[in-house]
Amino acid sequence: MQYKGAIFDMDGVLFDTERIYQETWQEIAARQDITLDGSFLRAISGTNGAHMCRVIEKYYHVPDGKDIMERCMEQVRQKLSVYVPMKKGVRDILDYFRKNDIGIAVASSSAVQQIEANLQMSGIRDYFSVIVSGSEVNQGKPEPDIFLLAAKRLHYAPEECFVFEDSENGIRAGYAAGCFTVMVPDLLEASSEIQPYCRKICSDLEQAVREIIRM
């Protein structure tokens, strides 16, 4: 099949920002004398909206997770206003797709203002013709809505698009959408449960572009 679109998650794929989120979740928990166990990272990664709130409510033992979610997002925004660390291989793969007339999109659970700010600060905004935020869809990852919308805005069928994700929730969403899923693990390695949903698993985006060139 001729692939025509490339859809990137942002945190943990384009930018080394997932660590900042996890540090912030832990800081908020510590101030409330809460210890987040190891399963929190896998549960929260790649989520947004109602799904994220349910995870927060479970691990922070609160009836409504919205306040903690908004607190975390604001603190992360402040940190990223100073510096946005880019992941290895980002410019390589973006240059490859642009030279080969592949449409490029971001589909992130983050707010659109944060997506725009990160892309502008890192100097890669011009590569992306489409930006989709989790606030624009009814259901966040692991549901496929965000990738279906990104493919639609690229004017390609989902089956014609790559999806690059670091989280299991994101991979499940890309798989459900029918896209070619490429997992680039960040804080968590690919579990045995998620591997069947990955068309490729790459250590970084430099490896990902080499694998795509060979296809």
Task: Report residue 75 CA to chain centroid gap.
Answer: 19
Helices then strands, each counted (H, E), the chain: 9, 6
Name the 3-class secondary structure at 181: strand
Helix 66-80, helix 18-31: angle, nearest 10? 130
Specify burial of residue 43 (Cβ count, 10 A radius: 0-12, 13-18, 19+): buried
CB 42 within 8 A of CB 140: no
Q: Which two tokens stand for residue 91?
A: 């410019």
Helix (H) or strand (E) holding 133: strand 130-133
Task: Report residue 194 CA to chain centroid gap.
Answer: 16
Q: Which two tokens stand for residue 166?
A: 């670091």
Helix 90-99, helix 205-214: angle, nearest 10? 30
What residues are labeled active site? 9, 11
What single letter denotes the amino acid at residue 129?
S
**What distance in Å separates the CA atoms of residue 156 and residue 16, rounded to the nearest whole number?**
28
